[in-house]
Structure 1
Amino acid sequence: MAGMTPNNPPRRILSWADTPKTVIYTIMISITLIELVLQISDRGWIAGGELRGLAYKYGAFWSKLTDDWRPIYAAQPWTMFFTYAFLHGGLFHLIGNVVTLGSLGAIALQRMNQWKFLQLYLSGMLGGAVMFAALSDSAIPMIGASGAIFGLVGAWQYWEFANLRRRGLALTPFYRMMVNLVILNLLFWLMLQGALAWETHLGGFIAGWVWAWIFARE
């Protein structure tokens, strides 16, 4: 049959899940474009400089909405569990998350296709929001992709932990990394004068760890 000889093997059509890093680039571009639009608005070129405030008002995570605050629109108490991760507090906040997403995302994609990566990312995003809602009563909005990114950290550390145990090696490197993560969060919390949503980091980490334990291939 034509096209089936050993010298002319059939071509497999690549799916979206097979394309390297498409999901990471899509997330990076999405959150970057949103922040750039807000930066332009901050300079008064769009919506009279009020667009960032509106974006936070409608899309940030407000823990009080899980208590006694009235939402602006009916679905807000539910949509904010995901929309918060697309908003950032400025270029430095965005750049830090984008760089971290690129490096940790590359590690994760060595073990899974992009559909599973997206599941892991969303798990960290949701876990971070749930933990923030459970532990924080702050009236300040929570924003940023760090919950989802700490989901990647949690999965990565589960893989490292499982690998050490499987090989019968000491868990010292794993414990050292845990201590480093705690110290890093503490330092940023001090630098930001308590404005760091460590609850979101913790929730994302736990969600990523659990996801990797249940679903990820070893």
Structure 2
Amino acid sequence: MKVPARFSKKTTSVVPPVLFLLLLTNVIAELILQLDSSGVFDGEQLLRGWAFALGGFQPDLNQRPLFPGQSLSMFLTYGFLHTGLCHLVINMFGLFWLGKLVLPYRTAETFFLLYLASMVGAAETYLLIGLQSNVMVGASGALFGVLGVYVIDSGLLNSSQAKPEAAGLKFFRISLVTVAMAVSEIFVQMLLGNRPMAWEAHAGGFMTGAVLALLSPPRLPRKV
């Protein structure tokens, strides 16, 4: 018995649940800070400063933690904080785009773990070679990690790639995403008054994602 075509097609959501969860978490955090900046709460507009002090990544935090465990929690909390709406929108666009590229190769659970691991790897690299006096916030380190995962999962580096045209399309996607992310970071840096850009975190996130992708091949069939 054949199932009619209109019933046999799998339905896919525009925004996969795991991406929706990550997007929503980032948006809610920034929305609260925006409301505070608008004077909705108490008019003092100090919440962003406190959020950065409590959740931003601070390489020299061991000298003055504000609460027990902050030196560990900051490896994750910094990735859900942003400097403003522009910073948030750029990173969330990148998250949506990269997530849609990687999820065909990964389960939602694995994608989520790789995202968080890349965030930690980005912070660890910044801790080792970054500026020790600067507080770091933003999801871009994790996004570069997702980009590293896609480079591996897509098979672009596989010399036995069967379809040159598919390899060309993947290379174009990776190049386009990389350029877009680099330009967006430069734009954000200009908006922030030429504050240093955490390139160390970007490199660390990318390497973490790529290495973990090599160590844990995708469970789902590759689409070419």
TM-score range, shorter chain: 0.7 to 0.9
CA–CA distance in structure 1, aligned partners of residues 159 and 216 of structure 2: 18
CA–CA distance in structure 2, aligned partners of residues 111 and 177 of structure 1: 15
Q: State whether structure 2 residue 29 is matched by structure 1 residue 34.
A: yes
Q: Which has the larger radius of gyration?
A: 1
- The number of aligned residues is 200
- Displacement of 1:189 in angstroms is 4.7
How does 1:1-218 map onto structure 2 within 5 Å?
A: 21-47=16-42, 48-66=44-62, 69-162=63-156, 164-167=158-161, 181=178, 185=182, 188-189=185-186, 191-192=189-190, 193-217=194-218
CA–CA distance in structure 2, aligned partners of residues 99 and 184 of structure 1: 10
- SS of residue paired to 1:63: coil
Q: Spell out, residue by residue over 1:7-58, the C-alpha distance to the aligned partner (whole angstroms, 9 max, x if none).
A: 9xxxxxxxxxxxx711110110111011011001011222421111110110
Whether the 8 Å contact between 1:81 and 1:126 is mirrored in structure 2 is yes
- Displacement of 1:137 in angstroms is 2.8
- SS of residue paired to 2:137: coil
Superposition misfits of 4+ residues, deviation over 3 angstroms:
160-164, 171-192
Q: Which runs of 5+ in 2 are unaligned?
A: 4-14
Q: Which runs of 5+ in 1 are unaligned?
A: 1-5, 8-19
CA–CA distance in structure 1, aligned partners of residues 108 and 184 of structure 2: 33
Root mean square deviation, CA, Å: 3.2
Percent of residue pairs bearing the same amino acid type: 31
Whether the 8 Å contact between 2:90 and 2:184 is mirrored in structure 1 is no
Q: TM-score, normalised by structure 2?
A: 0.77
